[in-house]
Amino acid sequence: MKAYDQLIFEICKEGRTAYSLPNCDLCNGEMSEFIPNAFLRVHEVELPEVSEVDVIRHYTNLSNLNYGVDTGFYPLGSCTMKYNPKINEDVASIKGLTDIHPYQPEETVQGALEMMYNLGNMLSEISGMDKTTLQPAAGAHGELTGLMIIKAYHESRGDVKRKKIIVPDSAHGTNPATAAVAGFEIVEIQSDKNGAVDIDALKAVLNDEIAGLMLTNPSTLGLFEKNIKWIADLVHEAGGLLYYDGANMNAIMGKVRPGDMGFDVMHYNLHKTFSTPHGGGGPGSGPIGVKEHLVKFLPVPVIDKKEDQYLLNYDRPDTIGKIKGFYGNYGIMLRAYAYILTMGSEGIKEVSEIAVLNANYMMNKLKEHYYLPINQVCKHEFVLGGVGGVLLEVSTLDVAKRLLDYGYHPPTIYFPLIVNEALMIEPTETESLETIDGFIETMIKIAKEAKEDPQILKSAPHNTPVKRIDEARAARNLIVKWEK
């Protein structure tokens, strides 16, 4: 196939059009009759002029430069790149579900509200929390909402000294960033040699200024925090609350629940655990679940049921307020709802069981060829520390780029920060043994190449649409829009 290197602006021709507006029955009057001239633009906006065929060909060609889950294996740790079922796309585009305006009268959107009400309850069942809000648009947005609730909780008790959030050094970057946006100071604690929370380090920082602890479990190393109950008790005894980062929920569904571990508030990533497509960066959806004592702080509106009617309840005096326009990413909720119904109780549990089985299988096969910093049973993902040994000239970046040549999306690299040369691998449950074996073989082959022909890794990728990109140049000499 021919290489494609056009931008839409480069295939324009004056006078071409691709649009079809409704027939004009009221197109009378110059703009200046309605709007003062001073407000009107003089020049037309610089936008493309192309025909419909141009549009379709251009974007089809661009799509061919991409790699999605439908293209191949995508073991991107922490991102849960599982298969996105097609039926979910179909049901989420049923006109009666999508063509509804957020301000329609409640009695005309009962189906939408019922779905949201049910989805909230299903998520609560999976997590062991008491109530869910679906409003946050993404995981980081959920974190922010959760921390606002923690702050509101302490303030409602007159406990205004609590201005600090504890974050382990293994945490996702969003955790500390979110705590700062929510107006907290951050206290970072180091992990112990097994990547777990260091109980002594935790005890040392707990006091009456701590608002809470943010934790991912399994941790970003893919390891279950065995002391979780102890940690929860310590934080609670010190008057703090526990926030659960739900990025790694795919490991534990039907097996153990954050609510039972002692967490007070958490977010879900519908775009990870519940199979909604990532869309090249979004939209996501990051609902949060809370325990009973935090329910009154949830953002408005809360979806309630009164007799047989569903309603948007704004009458909540202790609410933190609104955190997004309207009610959340409803289109994403529809897909996640369809997914849970499709899996059922047994299927949801099987998801986590197989995700964990796949990860452990891979870890065991790869640990002889790559450095495995912590050798114990993992959950849905595991972290390798690069090719290791004496081959310091080959970096994790080189391994990742070489994987591109073999047709794989690389794992997450250089995260978590506490492992040097980290490669974070998450196979998910939707990959077959053959796919996984194929990836393992390739990884072993690359480890061998690293010893025998490191240059082929360092100059990789070789057969992608573009090769390694000069990132420094992009940042120094900023070109962020097309100009003639």
> Using the rule CB under 8 A, which residue among 341, 374, 391, 444 binds other proteins?
341
Which of 238, 290, 323, 443 is in the footprint of other proteins by CB under 8 A? 323
131 touching other proteins, by CB under 8 A: no
Report residue 385 CA to chain centroid gap.
23
User: 116 and 327 in contact (C-beta within 8 Å)?
Assistant: yes
Stretch that binds other proteins, among 202-210, 253-261, 290-298, 419-427 (CB under 8 A): 253-261
**Among residues 157, 203, 229, 448, which is the contact residue for other proteins, using CB under 8 A?**
229
| From candidates 253, 298, 384, 419, binder to other proteins by CB under 8 A | 253
* Min separation Cβ 62 and other proteins, Å: 4
- Of 368, 375, 376, 416, the C-alpha closest to 396 is 416
Using a CB cutoff of 8 Å and minimum separation of 24, what contacts does 327-330 make? 327/102, 327/116, 327/134, 327/135, 327/301, 327/303, 328/133, 328/134, 328/135, 328/136, 328/137, 328/285, 328/287, 329/137, 329/270, 329/283, 329/284, 329/285, 330/112, 330/116, 330/134
Q: In whole angstroms, what is the distance from residue 459 CA to residue 432 CA?
A: 31
- Here the tokens at position 231 are 């940690």
Residues 32-71 that bind other proteins (CB under 8 A): 34-36, 38-41, 44-50, 52, 55-56, 58-60, 62-71
Chain-centroid distance of CA 147 in Å reads: 18
The interface with other proteins within residues 88-127 (CB under 8 A) comprises 89-91, 93-105, 108-112, 114-115, 122, 125-126
CB closer to other proteins, 155 vs 451: 155
β-bridge partners, 310: 305
384-413 footprint of other proteins as x/- string (CB under 8 A): ----------------xx--x----xx---
| Residue 381 binding other proteins, by CB under 8 A | no
DSSP β-ladder status, 131-133 and 302-306: unpaired
Q: How far is CA 359 from the centre of its chain?
A: 19
User: Judged by CB under 8 A, which of 207, 313, 360, 442 binds other proteins?
Assistant: 360
Of the pair 342, 442, the CB lying nearest other proteins is at: 342
CA 402 to chain CA mean position, Å = 25
Interface stretch with other proteins, choices 272-280, 287-295, 382-390, 419-427 (CB under 8 A): 272-280
254: left (phi over 0), alpha (psi -120 to 50) or beta: left
Among residues 1 and 45, whose Cβ is nearest to other proteins? 45
Alpha-carbon span 308 to 214, nearest angstrom: 38
Q: What tokens does 82 get?
A: 């599982």
Min dist CB 373 to other proteins, Å, is 16
CA 331 to each of CA 97, 309, 338, 353: distance values in angstroms, whole numbers, following the listed order: 9, 22, 11, 28
Q: Work out whether 361 is an interface residue with other proteins (CB under 8 A).
A: yes
We find the least distance from the C-beta atom of residue 40 to other proteins, in angstroms, to be 6
**Which of 205, 283, 374, 456 is close enough to bind other proteins by CB under 8 A?**
283
Query: Is residue 279 near other proteins by the rule CB under 8 A?
Result: yes
Q: Distance between CA 114 and CA 308 in Å, rounded?
A: 10
Interface stretch with other proteins, choices 197-205, 238-246, 449-457, 470-478 (CB under 8 A): 470-478
What minimum distance in Å lies between the beta carbon of 379 and other proteins? 8
The yes or no reply on residue 454 touching other proteins (CB under 8 A) is no
* Residues between 149 and 208 that touch other proteins (CB under 8 A): 151, 173-174, 176-183, 186
CB of 231 to other proteins, least distance (A): 12
- Interface with other proteins (CB under 8 A), residue total 198
